Structure 1
Amino acid sequence: MRVRLTWAFCLSVLLGVTGGVNAEVRVSTATDPTAALDGRLTQLLGSERQALSAVRPDRLRQLTAPPRPRLSARRNGGGSEITYSREWLKSLPRASGGNEWSCLAEALYFEARGESVRGQFAVAEVILNRVDSASYPDTICGVVNQGTGRRYQCQFSYTCDGQKEVINETAAYERGGKIARAMIDGTPRTLTSGATHYHTKSVNPRWARSFPRTTTIGVHHFYRAPTRLSSN
């Protein structure tokens, strides 16, 4: 009788332990956090995929593009202080360069040769700020000639006014060339507070109503693109 009780007791204990293990396994499976997490991730990824599909491909490329390296800021060439004066500009050596320099020098000549030295530097800042921006071409020539040949699409009016670009004022072109050289070599851009747009005081374009104005130099108002998720 004593032996039977002992075996019965052992059997009940064994069955109890086994049942407990099974119960534990069932509970663990029912409350497995990875299962809930997988379902939640699937739901979130589906929502993200749906949201991304509504974004235009060109805008998506802009948002995901790595930042472009900014040209290094330093004093002009030999380390002379910049005073934005005709006298200071005359002290610089005659400038030369490749295609990028030529595009910037010509843009300054046709867009701003009647401006002060400071005003021409400001226009150069706008062009180089665009080069640094993911919203525009990544070369000076690309920025200057963007939209050329398409009606109402050119960014700089002289490239699509229907007139041949002829340089008649040699001295003015040489000044623009020196400014272009100084800016490409890394003159700090401190005049326009990051402006990417400008227009003369004689016009009032619609876009200027929503762009923050950063400064006015000579006959030009300068603007920075508004901060928003837009291609403008």
Structure 2
Amino acid sequence: MAAIIVAGLLSVSSAQAEMTGSHSNDPTAVLDRNLVELFGTEKKALKQVGSQRLKQLIRPQLRRNTPKVQYDANWVDARPAAKGGDEWQCLSEALYFEARGESVKGQFAVAEVILNRVASPLYPNTVCGVIHQGTGKRYQCQFTYTCDGRAEVINEKRIYERLGKIAKLMLDGAPRKLTNGATHYHTLSVSPRWARTFPRTATIGVHHFYRQPGARTVSN
């Protein structure tokens, strides 16, 4: 299964260039970026006096509405059928084409990487934006399945349904604790050059996970 993230980012300027293929949706981080656009200097004052309180108000609500995750196929399969909008569909498809052969824990970990990228200022601030970054430039995209020239067809419906449930759980605020803020991964069978300089944060299933230096992420 294609599974190397093609972004051999050795600096912020090259951070969009090299991820070969097998980054996250923290609502607080998205809200924070929106505040920059809406309120300008007022947002700075808000951060000084109330940003931590804002996070406390939002995150417990997410956790109350999200069950305690079990990284078990039977548990995920027993969840209600999932559906959603564009962000859910983008994440479900990315998990299918990047990680359908992984363990459930590994699939959650790949979802973490994507959501961690959403939360980082170095990447687009939507799931679809992260996944399709660089698409259209052959082998210069962030996730290979979006630019390898092959038609992407979902044939394994049962696996796709499971991955849709994982996507739903993650978008609803499930904890991102497996990869310690990872923004990159690759399969164990390869050694991309960026892996020599990025700190490795976890190894799960057939993937090593890494965090790009300077890529601040917010894990819940």
**TM over 0.5, yes or no?**
yes
Matches within 5 A, 1:142-157: 142-157=129-144
Comparing both structures, which one devotes a greater share of its residues to helix?
1
Tell me which residue corresponds to 1:4: none
Deviation of 1:153 after TM superposition, in Å, equals 1.5
Find the partner of 1:141 among 109, 112, 128. 128
Runs of 5+ in structure 1 lacking a partner?
Answer: 1-55, 57-66
More displaced stretch, 150-159 vs 177-186: 150-159
1 or 2 for the larger relative contact order (CA 8 Å, sep ≥6)? Answer: 2
Deviation of 1:191 after TM superposition, in Å, equals 0.3
What is the TM-score when the length of structure 1 is the normalising length?
0.66
Tell me which residue corresponds to 1:92: 79
What is the TM-score when the length of structure 2 is the normalising length?
0.69
Matches within 5 A, 1:29-68: 68=30
What is the RMSD computed on CA atoms of the aligned residues?
A: 2.1
Contact 2:138 2:148 in 1 (8 A): no
Tell me which residue corresponds to 2:206: 219
Q: Whole-Å Cα distance in 2 between the matches of residues 219 and 167 of structure 1?
A: 22
Contact 1:76 1:182 in 2 (8 A): no
Q: What SS does structure 1 have at the residue aligned with 2:202?
A: strand
Deviation of 1:227 after TM superposition, in Å, equals 3.4
Q: Whole-Å Cα distance in 2 between the matches of residues 222 and 147 of structure 1?
A: 21
Deviations 1:109-153 (A, max 9, x none): 000000011000000000000001111111100000000111331
Contact 1:167 1:173 in 2 (8 A): yes
Deviation of 1:100 after TM superposition, in Å, equals 0.5
Deviation of 1:76 after TM superposition, in Å, equals 7.5
Runs of 5+ in structure 2 lacking a partner?
Answer: 1-12, 14-28, 33-54, 216-220
Deviation of 1:87 after TM superposition, in Å, equals 1.6
Pair 1:75–1:200, CA change in 2 (3 A): same
Same amino acid, percent of matched pairs: 65
Q: Which amino acid aligns with 2:84?
A: G
Contact 1:75 1:82 in 2 (8 A): no
Counting matched residue pairs gives: 163
Matches within 5 A, 1:15-34: none
Find the partner of 1:199 among 186, 190, 194. 186
Choose 1 or 2 for highest CA Rg.
1
